Amino acid sequence: MEYELPQSFVAIGELGEMHTDLRYPVVDVRAEVVLEPGERILETYLGQPRLAEQSLSDKVPITVTDRRVVWVDTRYDRGGGWSGFGGAGLVVATVANAASKARARRRSAGKAAIGQIRYEWLLAIDLTKRKPLIGSADSYVDLHSLTSSGSGLVRLYMGGGGLADQLARYLAQIAATRLLTIGSGVLADTEMQRLATIMAGAASSSGQLGAARWLMTTDINDTRALLRRLGQSYGDPSPDTAVTRPW
């Protein structure tokens, strides 16, 4: 099925709506991800996705599958700043942006802020460390990904206890596995070998406080060729659109 790259990594959707917009996940009435044929759930975490336009609630379920990472927030702030997709999503987004928070919350029953990043969209994964004035360093998982207008960032805050470190390394290995599976015959041998080292657990580079980076591609043209190989019309950015590369 054909689909475009998303403009944003979060939008308002209706629980149980079996839409065909593959930029965003389908979720059932229990707010659980509906899997695609042959897809497998690998892990589920609780964290806070932070985006340029909004930060979602804390302790949002983050589902890692063998094809993508998905977040579903049923407690999102209904007060404004949201986009939507599908008939129900566009209506509730308009309401959420225009009405008071209390009124929007009532009108948004059965809705959720949902989003995803498919591994073939990824440019890089960063394990980011920030040292506060007091206490231990905060850790984040930064997902750099293609969008319909260039590139974007989703920052996953996982709290303390080393969970961000675990998730970043795990996502890098799962994403590399996916890219190796679908990249045969498209990606150069050197690129396949580089991804194989990531799949085996090696980072592309490391920094202070244990920070690390995993490059999912070294050439945007490779990524675009891979998307074309998948037979998906992603609406790639035009040559005049600058992609902010994370490397």
| Predicted confidence (pLDDT) per residue in 110-125, tens digit | 889 999 999 999 999 9
State the Cα angle at 143 between 215 and 4, rounded to 5°: 100
Instruction: List Cα–Cα distances, 190 to 29, 39, 43, 155, 242, in angstroms.
Output: 45, 28, 30, 29, 26
113 within some domain: yes
Tokens describing residue 118? 């498919």
Residue 191 covered by a domain: yes
- Answer yes or no: do 79 and 162 share one domain: no
Among residues 59, 92, 117, the one where a domain terminates is: 117
Question: Are the CB atoms for 195 and 176 separated by under 8 Å?
Answer: yes
Number of domains in the chain: 2
Name which of 70-84, 159-173, 188-202 the model is least confident about. Answer: 70-84
* Residue 126 sits in the same domain as residue 79: no
For residue 243, being part of any structural domain is answered with no
- In DSSP terms, 128 is beta-bridged to 140
Count CB neighbours of 144 within 10 A. 23
Spatial neighbors of 61 by CB under 8 A, at least 6 apart, are 31, 44, 45, 46, 71, 72
Say if residue 36's pLDDT is above 70. yes
**126 and 46 both lie in a single domain:** no
* Structure confidence at residue 230 (pLDDT): 73
Q: Which of 6-10, 36-40, 124-128, 219-223 has the lowest mean pLDDT?
A: 219-223
Same structural domain for residues 109 and 181? no
Look at residues 35, 62, 38 and name the one whose alpha carbon lies nearest to residue 48. Answer: 62
Residue position matching structure tokens 């403009």:
7
Q: Which helix (H) or strand (E) holds 246?
A: none
Are 215 and 124 in contact by the 8 Å Cβ rule? The answer is: yes
**Are 139 and 161 within one domain?**
yes
pTM: 0.81
Give residue 80's domain range: 11-117
Which of 68, 88, 117 is the last residue before a domain boundary?
117
pLDDT of 185 over the 70 cut: yes
In whole angstroms, what is the distance from residue 151 CA to residue 224 CA? 13
Q: Is residue 70 part of a domain?
A: yes
Same domain membership, residue 43 and residue 123? no
**Distance from C-alpha of 128 to C-alpha of 76, rounded to nearest angstrom:** 25
Confidence grade of residue 86 (pLDDT, cut at 50, 70, 90): very low
Contact assessment for residue 192 and residue 184, using Cβ atoms and an 8 Å cutoff: yes
- Which of 55, 90, 117 lies at the terminal end of a domain, its last residue? 117
Q: What is the CA radius of gyration of the chain?
A: 18
CA end-to-end span of the chain, whole Å?
A: 31
Q: CB–CB of 71/61 below 8 Å?
A: yes
CA distances (Å), origin 85, targets 30, 43, 61, 100, 204: 19, 27, 21, 21, 36
pLDDT mean over 31-43: 93
Whether 66 is covered by a domain: the verdict is: yes
Residue range 89-146, pLDDT digits in tens: 444 444 444 445 555 555 456 889 999 999 999 999 999 987 766 667 788 999 999 9
**Distance of alpha carbon 12 from alpha carbon 104, whole angstroms:** 12
